[in-house]
Amino acid sequence: MSGSAITPWVVGNWKMNPMRADAKQLVQELKQLLQDHVIDESQCHIGVAPISLALSNVQAQLSAGNRTAQDLSRIAGTGAYTGEISAELLKDSGIDFVLVGHSERREIFGDSPAIVNEKVKNAIDAELTVIYCVGESLEQRENGQAEQTVLQQICDIASVVQADQWERVVVAYEPIWAIGTGKTASPADAQ
């Protein structure tokens, strides 16, 4: 890695949790922590990615830099798409960041590279910052394919991200093999 400074990101993805009362308490505790321990955005970006139902409530309580959507629709704009939330609707609601390519979306919900590309393009076109999740499975890691897998995932979106748009993409290394296994990725793995 070069000598350039990278500002770290810490984003809490709530996944499909918690219940409303617990979410309210969690936000209050986070808000208090952020007030007690002011972190300059140039030192670390902090975000919260709550479930869609809690997004407006969290948005009302936290500063703009902290609000992140967990996903977005592959469909742009508005229309008759039951249950979908477009990039434009997120932006109109004051959301500036969105997770795209999370391993659960790829593995459980079938977000193929083509679907991920549509989501990335829609997000960037709506002026959202994409937190693009990349990572390898345990099998890929054990077969020496970790770097190749991650690089391919980055190359997958290169066709929809123009040179001047990469500033709207944050690459988040998400080692799939470490999710819920008790294993952790080392700083060297992330590098």
- Kindly list the catalytic residues: 102, 174
Residue 165's contacts (CB-CB under 8 Å, 6 or more residues apart) are 124
Nearest 10 degrees: CA dihedral of 82, 87, 74, 58? -70
Distance CA 136, CA 187 (A): 16
Alpha-helical segments (H) within 63-191: 87-92, 103-107, 113-125, 138-142, 146-158, 187-190
Look at residues 18, 41, 44, 43 and name the one whose alpha carbon lies nearest to residue 29.
Answer: 18
Both tokens of 61, joined, read 């309580």
Sign of CA dihedral 52, 54, 55, 56: positive
